[in-house]
Structure 1
Amino acid sequence: MKHAYVFPGQGAQFPGMGKNHYEQNPAARDLFEQANDILGFRITDVMFGGTETELKQTNVTQPAIFLHSVILFLTTPGLAPDMVAGHSLGEFSALIANRALSFEDGLRLVAKRAIAMQHACEINPSTMAAVLGMEDTKVEEICAGVSGEIVVAANYNCPGQLVISGSIEGINIACERLKAAGAKRALVLQVGGAFHSPLMEPARQELEAAISATTFNMPTCPVYQNVDAQPYTDPAQIKQNLIAQLTAPVRWTQTIQHMTANGAGRFTEVGPGSVLQGLVKKINREAVTDGIS
């Protein structure tokens, strides 16, 4: 049985995250302090003592989740993944775990990604909605039928749970049509913009230059990437998929299915929360799940 490690994305943050690890583990403290230097501000102050609102600041949320996951992974002895994956932002954490990226380069890219996504949200006011209790193909069909607006499937989280992304008007129309067609829920989310949609194109362009200029190494195990849920070990291909990720959907359902088909029986979530453990169980009831948090 192969052991997969998975890493959470945005929304997993909570006040006090990482504080115990910082206080109890000297190696973790060193990495947190290194992160403060790289970012140019004390992100640890916000992570350990900030409010939920402060943790939602664009320049804080993504680096905070990344640091929590990655520092836990790097300072927990004996972790040897057979394969890795991360949900959206979590893909960067996964690339530290399989050594495709260095800690410093990964953090710099995540910080740039957060700011680039914020810029894209300011250019195109937009949103996302969670759709529950409907077949993926039916959701896709209804989204495609909203003419004159951008509405696309953004996160295939698990069977019966799909997040859509697009213009504010388009999402509102789609939600009404989805509910009328029998969706259990179609709920607009409190997010800054239409992540994983064509509306993130300005962010993709901004991040492309940074990723292209960063050295990626040969990983120690495959990373199953969001864009097509396939395993990759070629650094050049990993880069291209990471660039494409911002405007493409997160195929999490398919990722877990492919990891399972390739021998994964145990999935360990590393980082804040346990959302991915729940999703893995909904995709594959036979999977053994646990977490390091």
Structure 2
Amino acid sequence: MRDTRHPISRKRAALVALAAAAAVASLVTPTPAAADSGVVGGRTANAPDTPWVVALSSVDRFGRMRAGQFCGGAVIAPTKVATAAHCLREDVLGVRAEELRDLKVIAGRSDLVGGGGHEIPVKDMWINPAYDAESNSGDAAVLTLARPLPSGYVIPVAPAGDPAYRPGTDATVYGWGDTTGLGTYAHTLNAADVSVLPDQDCSRAYPAAPGQARYVPATMLCAGTREGGRDACQGDSGGPLIARGKLIGLVSWGSGCGLAESPGVYTRASAVLPGS
């Protein structure tokens, strides 16, 4: 989740709330989100053009209204999906991740409740052993799929030192999360254009403080716009940040959504993904 003044992982409290609402959702008539206009400050994206973006889904935990979507991910190999480690926490899911019987990924589908694309069960998972829930450092996990996706769905991971990580580089973040910062969750895939920002911007926005997350440049990446207005938000956690045709980050945490002095913080792909 993205807490407004105590920055923690963008999904944690939001996912707990979604899980609590799931039981109620089955008793009421589903209604569409009020706005599907984009990730905060974003635009509608087309899944066939971005096949490496996937939704993580559990109808058992999060209900059918949005096909059980609760996080995002990126296809890094035909049977491998990278996502955020905090998406798989027991206090988020309500059960241990390995006990989540219907965990799957939805790929190649722009509209979560539409047809087409692929729905593939997850058969195994790797959670970064260096993940630190207090600082959010190392916030990454890799899911192994029960069957492969087409090779064209794979996005390469930018290695350390790649120009895609340089401050000022244009980047795009994708997800099905909150489009307003007020709990207006999207049914369709959205994208927001941002820029890679200097580490100093996030170090200044998120200084070390007791009981709060802090910016760790070695494992994190700062992205957004200095004037605010374009950002990932709740529901986008684990989704990809893409620059120069490569995966450079995974949506992790921040304070608020699209605020001028609170950039988005992403897990630095080169620091945490196996083989990157």
What TM-score range do you get, normalising by the shorter chain?
A: under 0.3
Q: Decide which structure has greater helix share.
A: 1
Q: Decide which structure has greater strand share.
A: 2
The answer to which structure, 1 or 2, has the higher relative contact order (CA under 8 A, 6+ apart) is 2
Q: Tell which structure's C-alpha radius of gyration is larger.
A: 1
